[in-house]
Amino acid sequence: MSVRERLAIIRSNIDEACHRVGRDNNDVRIIAVTKYVSIERAKEAVVAGVADLGENRDDGLLQKYEAIGKEATWHFIGTLQSRKVKNVIDKIDYLHSLDRLSLAQEIEKRATKPIKCFVQVNVSGEETKHGLSSEQVLPFIEQLRNFTKIEVVGLMTMAPYTDDEQLLRRCFRELKQLQQRVQALHIANAPCTELSMGMSNDYVIAVEEGATFIRIGSALVGEE
Ligand SMILES: *Cc1c(COP(=O)(O)O)cnc(C)c1O
């Protein structure tokens, strides 16, 4: 199936999910996660109408950025090692994986403009997952108050890989509750209006629970 056909299915699923819970479908942005696929396939996504592209490695991001450039909005969605910050920071628009102070400090040092960041939260507490625990999120964001190159636009999580709908909903709801607590702090560089949650297997539930950015790889561009 072409990216265009897959996109039509995903959009219609999003529309239905929004309709069920009374949300505006314009509030859900699709990020095409192109980490598994070629430059050509990534371009196909842009042509089909998804100009938000997500990569999880610095080399993958740089390769695709070289080829596609400013036509796309660039999202870095994977763990970012501090020593790699300088390679990618001026290419990306959004970082979905801010998870430690040392990374924030490196961004503060290297970026030439404010970077829209999501603080990554390990809501499920799975050991294999990156991100702060829920308890760490507010104190962490407090520590970023005086950073001029970090804007905390929202929170991001990866739910467990499961078809247990209730478990998925609990994860997404917890992220949303945390978001509301961050907003209540009224920190100038932490508006925290966005929720990056939902992937190929769970985006419908994520949209029902309030996702504003969904990160879709295999269901949209495929896996090779
Ligand atoms: C790979 C990846 C995705 C997309 O995964 P799919 O299941 O293929 O949609 C989303 N978010 C992150 C952080 C990823 O690493």
Please write the tens of the pLDDT for every residue from 43-90. 999 999 999 999 999 999 999 999 999 999 999 999 999 999 999 999
Please write the tens of the pLDDT for every residue from 17-48. 999 999 999 999 999 999 999 999 999 999 99
Cα(211)–Cα(195) distance, integer angstroms: 5
Nearest CA to ligand 1 atom 6: 217
CA-closest candidate to residue 55, choices 81, 8, 88, 10: 88
Q: Is the CB of 78 under 6 A from ligand 1?
A: yes
**Cα R_g (the chain), whole angstroms:** 17
In DSSP terms, 74 is beta-bridged to 53
Please write the tens of the pLDDT for every residue from 161-200. 999 999 999 999 999 999 999 999 999 999 999 999 999 9
- Residue 125 confidence (pLDDT) above 90: no
Distance 199 CA to ligand 1 centre (A): 6
The token duo for 88 is: 């990618």
Q: Is the CB of 216 under 6 A from ligand 1?
A: yes
Q: Is the CB of 218 under 6 A from ligand 1?
A: yes
All domains in the chain, ordered by first residue: 3-221 (3.20.20.10)
Closest ligand 1 atom to residue 97 Cα is 13
Q: Is the CB of 30 under 6 A from ligand 1?
A: no
Cα(190)–Cα(141) distance, integer angstroms: 7
pTM over 0.85: yes
